[in-house]
Structure formats: C-alpha cells, structure tokens
Amino acid sequence: MEQQSYHRDLLHDLLKVMRSVDESHARGLFDLLRADSSVEELRSYIDKTLSEVRVSDHDGETIRSLERLWEKVDVSSGAPPSRPTVMDLNYLCDVTPFRVPAKPWTTVTNDDNLVSHLVSLYFTWDYPFYAFVDQKAFIRHMTLGNVDSDLCSPFLVNAVLANACYYSQYSEAYVVPGDVASKGRNFLAEAERYLPSHQLEKGGGVRLASLQGALLLYERYAMSGEDDLGYTMLNIAIEMAEALGIINREPLDLSKLQLSDEMITSVKRTAWGVFQVDTVVHTNFLKPSRVTSVSLDRIDPNESGAGDLWVPYPTDKRPRQSWLGQYFDEACKLSFLLRQWERALPDYFRALRRPPPHVLLLRMRYHVLIIGLARDGFGVQSFFLGSEEQRRKMDESANAMSLASAREISALARIHRQEYGMERAHQFATYAMMLALFTMLDDPSFDVLDHDFLSLTSAFSITASRSQVGRHLFHIFRESVRSRNQEERVLQSDAVSDEVKELFGRHPSSQLPDRWGNYADGLERYRGSFSSGSWNYTASGVRDMLEKYERLSLGNHDNTHPRRASSPNDGWET
C-alpha cells in the first residue's frame, strides 16, 4: 500500500514535470533516467532546474510540481526528509489495527483517526520490545472510556501518544513543522501535567497505569535527551514497582488476591517489563542493575499462538506470526543465560525466516551483550592474573568475538531494512548499530570500505535522523570516522554509492550542501559534563561513546530521583 502508492505518485510527478518544463530541461531529466543515474544526481538536477525556473516565467504549477518531485526523491534517497509528509487520515483509519477514541483521554486533539493511527504505530513498532503493557487490556479500557481504570489513564494514553509520534513521518506528529525535536511534544506536555499527582501515589495506592506511564516517559526522555530526566523517570518507575511489591521483594502469589485474570496478567507483564527495561538500560551503559529479582512468575509463553499476527502497519508488507508471548519469555531468559539461550532459540526465531522486527531486535540484544562481555564491559578481566602472553591471546579472542557480533548486528539490520525499512525501527536498534559501528572502528585493522561497516552506517543514519539524541550521536560518529583519517577513501571509491559518500561528508568539489551539517546544534551545552572534564565531537572508543550516549540520552547517572522510604510489606495487600 504505502510503497506502491509512493512509487505510483513518483512516476506520475516525473511525467508531469517532463510535460510542463521546457524541452531542454525535459531532455536532461530523460537522459538522467535512461543513464540509471543515482538518486543524488537526480536530486541535484532537480535542484538546478528549480533554481532556473524560479527566475524564469514558468507558471506556479510547474514550480510546485518540481518541488513535489524533489521531496519524493529526497525521501527515496534514504536521507532524512526535508519536511514531514502530509497524512491522509481518512485513508489510514481504514487500515489501522486498532480503533480507539481520542476523548476522554487527551485534550490535544479530538480526532479519533489520528489517535487510532498513533496507538496502532505504538503497538506495532515500540510496544513489542519491552511489552510492559497488556495490549488487550489497554485497548479494551481505552475503548470503554473509563478514566478511573487502573489499566488505562489519561497520563498513560498521552505518554503512549507522545512516544508514538516518534514512529510517524506525518505532519500531525510535529508541533513545529519539520522540527524533529518537536514530535509529540504536545502530548508529552499533557502527560507531564498529570505527572505530579501520580508521583504522590505510594505503596499499594500506586496505579499500574501510572507505573506504565513512567516507563513510557523514560523512553521518551531517552529519545529527546532531556537533562537527566531519562534516569529520573526510570528510577521513579522502579520505585513504584517496589512499592507495589512486584520487584525486589519476597515472592508474591497473585492467585490469593481478589484480582481479575486481566489484572493478574497486566501486573505480571508490567513487573517483567520493568525487569527488561532495567536490564537493557544498565547493561547497555555497563552499570549495575537496580532490579535484582521479580516477585512474580513470568507470563505463560504460550499465551500467544500461531494464530496471533503482527501486522507491519502502515506498510503493505505481509503480516507475520507474532510469537509475542514466546518472545517476551525468551527476552527474560536472555538476561540470565546467554550462550545456552542462543543455542536453544526456536527455529522460527532464525533471522533467515524473516521474523517480525522485535525478534530481530532480540537477536541484536544478544550480540550487544556479547560485545559488552568480550570487551570486558563488566570488569571480569581485572581478576585475571595470567601471563602477558595469555592476556594477549585473550584480548585477540575477545576482539574477534566482538567483531563477529558487530557483523551479526549489521546482517540483522540489513534484514530489518529489507523487510520493514528503518524509518520505524525501535530506538534500541540505534544503540545496537552504534555499538557495532564503534566496535569496528576500534579494531586495529579497521577498513572504512568494509561492506558491513558501510551498510550499517547507512541504516544508522536513517534511525538517527528521527530524534535529537540520534542526530547528536550521528554527528559524533561522523567526526570519529574522520579522526581515523579514512573518510577520503570513501569519497574517492568508485565502488561506494553517492548516497553513502554523502554520509561521511562532502567532497571538496561537491556543490551540494551538507545535509547533516546541523546535527551538532545543541551539543555545545554538554561541555564540561563528563568525569574527564573534557568534551569534543569525537569518541575515542566504545567506552567513550557509551559515556557520551548515556549523558545525551539519560543524563547524569548520579543525579537520581530521591528514594522514598518503603516498608518491605508495602505493595499488594494480602
């Protein structure tokens, strides 16, 4: 649907432009198409034609046709689009997997189609990775419109909508047209207005929807890079879960409580979702986890069967078996056992089977952890007292292991891009790809023309363009590549496409503007915010990159939310 419509419109605009411009411009465009020219060459020619017809006596319709064609070619290049696309809500509302009302949940909009579109994006692309909300319960209670529900609240709904805007390319997701930092900011502001009252909830009075909303705001702040708010919201969520007695407490038997089956399932999913978020975040940045135990049994992995489908809304790709219950169970196991886990994965999780993206991300997560272990991310090697030769061999083995995992991440990213594109990839993919890229950069025999490296760079540029933190990270990555003095090899190589060359910087003879030149905007405010007391726009290696990423996304780890004193007996009353 989406891709077929895009290419049909692109062809229509090409023909319309060739009919409306003069003979010389039409012939030039035709010659480019016959020569199978690159997207970059086509875009450059349209730029030149636009500048010429604007100063001539061509009518306004010709200019508008050229501008529309420029935008479509701009999107086709894989580079960040110059402006958001206009959405046909009436069309999309016919294909949304979920139909939910805007009222009484948000005052930002009364458009049911927009809210249904955003909720569908959230449950398609964001939700499966952590899955800390019970999808069926949330949709049912949102449809009923009961704002006092423990499983759905205006705070939670606005947090969902704020996050979902991250996955939308349409103008309705922006507060300021074209400003990626403004995506979903209106929904975020409404969620923040509810936040103070929910922070006052204590002990067994904590609503499950409030805990889930706090986790969503952690994700949102981690994408937008708000000062220290990422860690603050994660700590608030962990404290809420502790207050409910579902983590870091004695085992809790929910069957003895007067709770509905729907509530029991929701509580379990949230408890293990907190565990997942805590494990991923603290492992990513080589910090000790705060969640040491979960007080509840895991969700039954067979709750989703072969008949449950994951639909890649809003694309025209075929639906896949979801395996969400099995995925969630395997994701929890991953935090306990790595190598045994990988060997025991079910056959339908194999990358060659083209599973849904959350399964590809699960495999990425495995390789991220392997890289962390291989590179002494957890301080294990500091206890190794072998000889210098033994240490050298161990370092060589660890380097080979981490490089192998980096290449596996590159292969998984290629599958994700081929099957689903990268425009809606979960933010964890940005982290995994960046870690893999810096692992390759750290290798003494690093080759900038390595196919896996170039392929991963291209995919990383797409996901990074969608958020302010991602843009800052991509700028740091580009500067780090330049510091290795190899970018000229890319620019001079005949085997590298112009689109990939542009990612590493402009060639001196290029007349095109640097499309990533403004990605450093705002980075200057982080000067002096590191333990080393220094800051520049490069990362010296994986550890330096991780420190910069942590500071940009979550803030200062030591600036934590004050912990409330809580009794071991706080939580669900028995």
DSSP label at 425?
Answer: -
Give the model's pLDDT for residue 307: 77
Per-residue buried b or exposed e for 438-477, using 16+ beta carbons within 10 Å of the residue's own CB: bbbbbeeeeebebebbbbbbbbbbbbbbbbbbbbbbbbbb
Q: What is the pLDDT of residues 444-488, one digit of tens each?
A: 899 999 999 999 999 999 999 989 899 999 999 998 998 888 888
Q: What is the pLDDT of residues 70-95, one digit of tens each?
A: 555 544 444 444 445 555 555 555 57
What is the rounded CA–CA span in Å between residue 93 and residue 140?
18
Give the model's pLDDT for residue 574: 43
Q: Which two tokens stand for residue 429?
A: 């993919």
Give the model's pLDDT for residue 504: 81
* Cβ atoms within 10 Å, residue 261: 9
Give the model's pLDDT for residue 384: 42
490-501: average pLDDT: 85
Amino acid 275 reads F
pTM score, whole prediction: 0.67
Highest mean pLDDT among 21-35, 47-61, 196-210, 212-226: 212-226
Predicted confidence band of residue 386 (pLDDT cuts 50, 70, 90)? very low
Q: What is the pLDDT of residues 375-384, one digit of tens each?
A: 754 444 443 4
Question: Is the CB of residue 49 less than 8 Å from the CB of residue 55?
Answer: no
Strands 320-321, 309-310: pairing kind: antiparallel
Give the model's pLDDT for residue 345: 76
Q: What is the pLDDT of residues 314-342, one digit of tens each?
A: 888 889 988 888 888 887 766 555 445 65
